A = this chain, B = another copy of it.
Amino acid sequence: MPSVIMNPPDALAQRLADSGLRSTPQREFIYGVLMKKRDHPTADEVYARVRADLPSISLATVYNCLETLVQCGLIRVVNFERGPTRYCPNLSPHAHFHDEQSGTIHDIDLPADLLEKVASILPPGFDAKSVEVTFRGKSQPAA
């Protein structure tokens, strides 16, 4: 019975296999870290978190694995100014709000129709593979 529904439990192994890549503990734990606390950690932060489970992992591996996950389309990279690259588990279309005070990142839902309107400002001859909308400012500590 090949038509078993494959749920998140091993979306990762699946995706990796699809790309001819192996499922390794390092990749699994790093993916787990991203899925568990769905913020926007830097490679260093991921490194710190994953070391709880894999004390001997190297930072180079963290970079490698994150890159792999990005390739597989399981996470995304986000950059602000020239700060360290952050990794984002949210795959649905959204903008980012960068709180200058706290340095935290908030995902802002980006309606499809607006996304379209934005894309439509491109003159003919421009073929965009991706659009990015980023806000900077301050946000209420709020609810």
Contact = CB atoms under 8 A, between A and B. Distances in A.
B133 A118 contact: yes
Contacts of A135: 119, 122, 126, 128, 130-132
Q: Which of A85, A100, A118, A139 has the most CB of B within 10 A?
A: A118
Interface string A105-131: 010111100100111011111111111
A127 to B, nearest CB: 5
Which of A123, A133, A135, A138: most chain B CB closer than 10 A? A135
A95 interface: yes
Contact of A81 (B79, B121, B129, B137): B79
Given A97-B128, A130-B136, A132-B133, A114 B118 contact: yes
The complex is assembled from copies of this chain, and their number is 2
Given A79-B82, A127-B139, A139-B127, A108 B133 contact: no
Given A122-B135, A128-B135, A131-B134, 8 more contacts: A95-B121, A108-B126, A110-B121, A114-B118, A118-B118, A126-B137, A129-B138, A132-B135
Interface of A: 77, 79, 81-82, 85, 95, 97, 100, 106, 108-111, 114, 117-119, 121-140, 142-143
